[in-house]
Structure 1
């Protein structure tokens, strides 16, 4: 498995992976929100962020990580491949002192994953960045 930068031709596959992952892990998000976010992920977010793709041997994406400045904006793994170290490999690719991530409070597995990796809670917001009632836990990577 190799990690490489995203190219524009990846966007449809990465957005489909995003949708599968969200459906598997974000049961608190309504269908309307998924449908509204889908074209934004594909057409706006992916092109605007620094995205790294971890490829399977057949060149299909196993997961991807998107960063902006010193913040992990997205980390999604193919649902059938969760628990195989893909998220850790992607985080290792972008690891740097003070790296930050926001996690949905209603996604305790993701919160636990980031805590296990070395992030610590450093704040909480009652709503997400769009003002929706999805509490967010703000986390920051602690130096080893």
Structure 2
């Protein structure tokens, strides 16, 4: 795995970042959530952009070369609600930096993962998370099982 420079640190996202964030979300979901149809993506996209972003504390990491957002996460009081890395930026350690920030600085110990997203499941398991519960559907009642994970 390529390591990124030490100075890459999460910063709070602003509302003016939402358009860039939703485009990153879209690219990331298309590369990792193969179980979603185009109809599913179009269903979730406005919910993420217009509701979910405002319901969490959003953190971003910007690419030092071009200033674009390379990765972002959203945190609630006790949960990593979302963590996405742009497909072109994967493997550079951005996800790990965000996860470490959540665990060390925000004392977050839980995350929910789509069961069909093997890449995310592998990422969290490799960092000490284990499945503690499972729901048959997502929060919208759609047939996408959710795994509730917690840091050991």
Tell me the TM-score normalized by structure 2. 0.89
The aligned residue for residue 135 of structure 1 is 145
Please state whether the residue corresponding to 1:16 is helix, strand or coil. helix
Q: Quick one: structure 1 residues 86 and 98, their matched pair in 2 at CA, closer, same or farther if it must change by over 3 Å?
A: closer
CA offset at residue 124 of structure 1?
Answer: 1.0
In 2: Cα distance, 1:109 partner to 1:67 partner: 20
Please state whether the residue corresponding to 1:15 is helix, strand or coil. helix
- CA deviations over 1:96-135 (Å, ceiling 9, x no partner): 5561111111111110100011111101111111111111
Q: Quick one: structure 1 residues 74 and 98, their matched pair in 2 at CA, closer, same or farther if it must change by over 3 Å?
A: closer
2:26 aligned with 1:16:
no
In 2: Cα distance, 1:103 partner to 1:25 partner: 12
Gap runs ≥5 in structure 2:
1-7
The aligned residue for residue 27 of structure 1 is 34
- CA deviations over 1:57-86 (Å, ceiling 9, x no partner): 121000001010110110000001111111
CA offset at residue 2 of structure 1?
Answer: 3.3
Equivalent residues of 2:129, 2:150 under 8 A apart? yes
CA offset at residue 44 of structure 1?
Answer: 1.3
The aligned residue for residue 3 of structure 2 is none
Aligned match of 2:84 in 76, 90, 108? Answer: 76
Question: Which portions of structure 1, spanning 4 or more consecutive aligned residues, are displaced by more than 6 angstroms?
Answer: none
Tell me the TM-score normalized by structure 1. 0.93
User: What RMSD in Å do the two structures reach over aligned CA positions?
Assistant: 1.2
The aligned residue for residue 36 of structure 1 is 43
Report how many aligned residue pairs link the two structures: 142
CA offset at residue 13 of structure 1?
Answer: 0.1
Aligned match of 2:98 in 81, 90, 104? Answer: 90
Map residues 56-135 of structure 1 onto 2, 5 A cutoff. 56-57=63-64, 58-96=66-104, 97=107, 99-135=109-145
